[in-house]
Structure 1
């Protein structure tokens, strides 16, 4: 009889632990999925920003040595991602290809200018910084004109800032929801053992002594839940990468590793705090209050 009861209790305990792990895994999976969206949003905005270029048109009388010096300075500048020199002849050939006919035959001469296309790093693609770069270029004696799409930069910066704000807001709300849901699961798990807690306290065990094994067990469940969540998230990422390779989800392993570590740490932190406060609450209750 006792053996049957012990087996029943063990099954109930395993079932309880399994439910907690699944609950934690589901919540952390959703948190990880949202984190992935945030990461890819930043990557996508960075990608679009780094497609923006400043075109520096050069004067016809500019010496080759002066052009090479300017190119070298631009390549070493902190804001530069890449520098491409485009001669007026190359520009004419490309323009003719786009038109589908040789426009030089009508004009008799090449009206285009030699130019340097400067692609900027994403953090410098703002109206203020690009205007500053434009001003620094215009003072050069060999520079005829500096051109970039100011309206496009203003719209791009405004929309990215707005998107970043809302993503940050939703991240905070979603993390709060995750904390509440995992906290509820842990509290229910501790609630089922409230009589055990009180019995240990009544026989003289200190609150710290009682609390430690419960916290360690909860942390273990949190880690297991996080591992399940990471495995599910990895499977989902591989599926998306195979289905929609344009999303380019598997290029930044460092960020993915940070996301995985973040999920594990979040699982540990929430389960630790939830168990600490739940055990403290039940240990502070009187015996007759445990029935309510």
Structure 2
């Protein structure tokens, strides 16, 4: 009978430890993913901004040397990421492939213009800079028109500001929830040992002596949970980097290492603090209060 009771207690203890590790791992995993999002939010927004194309249309009278000189000066500018010269023949082929028919069969000639597609660096994709760049280009007497989607640029910048605010806000809320969830799991684990704590206290053990094994046990559980969370984060990061290589998620490995270290440290810190205060609470309770 005693043996059966001991086995039952061990199973309950293992189940309690498993639930603590699982809750710690899941919470830290989600918190780590949110950290990845915060770290790479600017990269993602920059990637989309740099897809905006400024098209400089050239007059038919533009000389090749003038076109080459403009393209070279743009490529050397601080605000330009890349440039691409598109001849009217290339533009016609693109339209033919897109529409599935040759429009020149109807008009009898190619009405399109030679152009230069300019991709700007993300920091310069705003209405003021685009207007300035457009004005500089139009000052060239061989430039006919500069085209870009100003409404899209304004919408994109507004959305980036909103998303950045909400990401930071949700990160703060989620961090608080993570601490509360882990703290709750630890408190439940310590609660199951409240009579053991009080018995040790009654035979003369000091609070520090009683608290130490509980803290170390919880820290070990926190380390296991953090390691599981980091393994999950590694798989997600590997998958995202393979799927979206253009985002360059691993271009700055030091930031990823710091994030992993932060998640690991949180696993230890939160469990240590939670266990410290949980055991302190039961140490301060009177014996008759343990039943409530």
Normalised TM-score (structure 2): 0.73
Matches of 1:246 and 1:11, distance apart in 2: 43
Q: Contact conserved, 2:44 with 2:247, CA < 8 A, in 1?
A: no
Q: Contact conserved, 2:43 with 2:247, CA < 8 A, in 1?
A: no
1:1-292 equivalences under 5 Å are 10-32=10-32, 45-95=45-95, 97-98=97-98, 100-101=101-102, 103=104, 106=107, 111-140=111-140, 142-197=142-197, 203=204, 205=206, 207=208, 210-231=210-231, 252-253=249-250, 254=253, 260-285=260-285, 289-292=289-292
Give the CA RMSD over aligned residues: 4.2
Q: Contact conserved, 1:79 with 1:124, CA < 8 A, in 2?
A: yes
Q: Contact conserved, 1:56 with 1:143, CA < 8 A, in 2?
A: yes
Matches of 2:224 and 2:83, distance apart in 1: 49
SS in 2 for 1:189: helix
Q: Residues 56, 276 of structure 1: CA spacing in aligned structure 2 closer, same or farther, 3 A cutoff?
A: farther
SS in 2 for 1:113: coil
| Alpha-carbon shift at residue 21 of structure 1 (Å) | 1.0
Q: Residues 101, 256 of structure 1: CA spacing in aligned structure 2 closer, same or farther, 3 A cutoff?
A: same
Which blocks of at least 5 consecutive residues in structure 1 are unaligned?
Answer: none
Range with greater deviation from structure 2 (183-192 or 117-126): 117-126
| Alpha-carbon shift at residue 281 of structure 1 (Å) | 3.2
